[in-house]
Amino acid sequence: DIAGLRILALAGFDPGAALDFFSASVAELHDVQPREGERGDTLTGRMFKLWTRTTHPPADQRMAAIKAELMRWEKEATYA
Q: Cβ distance 26 to 20 under 8 Å? A: no
Residue 62 DSSP class: H
Write down the pTM of the prediction. 0.66
Instruction: Give the domain range for residue 75.
Output: 2-79
- Residues of the chain with pLDDT > 70, as a percent, come to 71
Long-range contacts of 66-71 (CB under 8 A, 24+ apart): 66/1, 66/2, 66/5, 66/18, 66/19, 66/22, 67/19, 69/2, 69/5, 70/5, 70/15, 70/16, 70/19
Q: What was the pLDDT predicted at 12?
A: 94
Q: Cβ distance 69 to 5 under 8 Å? A: yes
- The total domain count for the chain is 1
| pLDDT tens figures, 17-38 | 888 888 777 666 656 555 655 5
Of residues 13 and 23, more confidence is placed in 13
